[in-house]
Amino acid sequence: MNASHFVRLCVTGLFAIFSSTIAKSPVLPLYSLSIGIGAAGIGVVSAVSSFTGIIASIPSGMMAERIGKKRMLTIATLIFATAPFLYLLVDNVRQLVMVRFYHGLATAIFMPVALSMVSDVFAKERGEKIGWFSTATLLGRFIAPMVGGGIIGLMAFNPKMSYNVVYLVCGFVGILSLVTLPSIPREVRDAHNTVSWRDILGRLRQLLTVKGVIITSVVEGAVLFSYGAFETFLPLYAISVGLSPYQIGMILSIQVISIALTKPFMGRFSDKHGRVPQIFAGGIIGAICVYGFSLSATFIPMLVLSVFFGLSISVVTSATSALIADLSKRESLASAMGILASVMDIGHTTGPLVCGVIATYLSYSSVFIFAAIVLLSCALVFKLAMR
Domain ranges (residues) in the chain: 1-184, 204-386
Give tens-digit pLDDT for 295-327: 998 999 999 999 999 999 999 999 999 999 999
Which are the contacts of 205, defined by CB distance < 8 A and separation ≥ 6?
Answer: none
Angle at 351 between CA 204 and CA 230, to 5 degrees: 125
pTM value is: 0.87
Which of residues 315 and 334 earns the better pLDDT score?
315
Judged against a pLDDT cut of 80, whether residue 369 lies above it is answered with: yes
Give tens-digit pLDDT for 336-365: 899 999 999 898 888 888 888 888 888 889
Measure the CA dihedral 235/236/239/243, to 10°. Answer: -30
Judged against a pLDDT cut of 50, whether residue 189 lies above it is answered with: no
Two domains, one topology: 1-184 and 204-386: yes
pLDDT-derived band at 162 (thresholds 50, 70, 90) equals very high
How far is the C-alpha of 363 from the C-alpha of 355, rounded, in Å? 10
Question: Within a 10 A sphere around the Cβ of 33, how many other Cβ atoms?
Answer: 15
How far is the C-alpha of 86 from the C-alpha of 357, rounded, in Å? 34
Give tens-digit pLDDT for 96-119: 999 999 999 999 999 999 999 999
CA distances from 347 to 16, 234, 377 (A): 22, 17, 14
Q: What is the CATH number of domain 1-184?
A: 1.20.1250.20
SS3 275: coil
Give tens-digit pLDDT for 233-267: 888 888 888 888 788 878 888 888 899 899 999 99
Phi, psi of 140 (to 5 degrees): -65, -40
Judged against a pLDDT cut of 80, whether residue 187 lies above it is answered with: no
How far is the C-alpha of 210 from the C-alpha of 261, rounded, in Å? 32
How far is the C-alpha of 278 from the C-alpha of 314, rounded, in Å? 10
How far is the C-alpha of 173 from the C-alpha of 12, rounded, in Å? 10
The fold for domain 204-386 equals Growth Hormone; Chain: A; (1.20.1250)
Mean pLDDT, residues 165-194 taken together: 78
CA distances from 20 to 146, 160, 238, 261 (A): 14, 20, 28, 21
